[in-house]
Amino acid sequence: MVKLAAKCILAGDPAVGKTALVQMFRSDGTHFQKNYTLTTGVDLVVKTVPVLDTNDSVELFIFDSAGKELFSEMLDKLWENPNVLCLVYDVTNEQSFISCTKWLEKVRSQTSGISLPGVLVGTKTDLAGRQTVDSAQAQVWALSQGLEFFETSVKLKPTPTHHQSATQSYRSASSSGVGKDAHKFCLKRLRLSAPY
């Protein structure tokens, strides 16, 4: 059994849902923060996550970062040597998607030239009627930057069908070797660079 540690930077504009996303992740979907509270600086969230189909686990140190420019100088020190990136935008706010380029550059400037695995997450999909960011466009951009892509809503609970679909996708990727290669890559990357 391998237990790894990883520093995950959660970045994006103010009010895109970063804190709500990380709180739902930490509570396994049981705690939805109904009142908006501005993050000042960085909130640290720690969660151990099992790696599917192994006995391995990763202790994630998630740095939930303020989206306001006012706090950007403070982030440089706190963001040193990240292992994983989660960029977040609001699907109903095109400017928050455009700003992802700025956030990505800022985080990558802290990596000392090392390739940084990560994900682009579009939030607030429960507001589909107000969506202004095209999903296909966001996915193309994410892939061009070497990021995975997902859209979600912390207000909507995943259905059994959603869980089965995700599990099936993982198994399909694993049986083709893609998932196993990704797992090996992530474990190797975390072993090489985890600062904890």
* Token duo for residue 75: 């982030």
**pLDDT per residue as tens digits for the range 78-111:** 777 889 999 999 999 999 999 999 999 988 888 8
Q: How many domains does the chain have?
A: 1
Q: Are 89 and 96 in contact (CB under 8 A)?
A: yes
| In the block, residue with structure tokens 């403070």 | 74
The domain spanning residue 23 has which CATH number?
3.40.50.300
Nearest Cα to Cα of residue 3 among 47, 41, 75, 59: 59
**pLDDT per residue as tens digits for the range 14-72:** 889 888 888 888 777 676 666 656 565 677 889 998 988 889 999 999 988 776 664 55
| pLDDT reported for residue 131 | 95
More confident residue, 125 or 29: 125
Q: Which domain range does residue 36 map to?
A: 3-193
**pLDDT per residue as tens digits for the range 128-176:** 899 999 999 999 999 999 999 999 988 876 544 343 333 333 343 344 3
What 3-state DSSP class applies to 118?
strand
What 3-state DSSP class applies to 110?
coil
Distance separating alpha carbons of residues 13 and 175, to the nearest angstrom:
37
DSSP string across 24-62: HHHTTT-----S-----SEEEEEEEEEPTTSS-EEEEEE
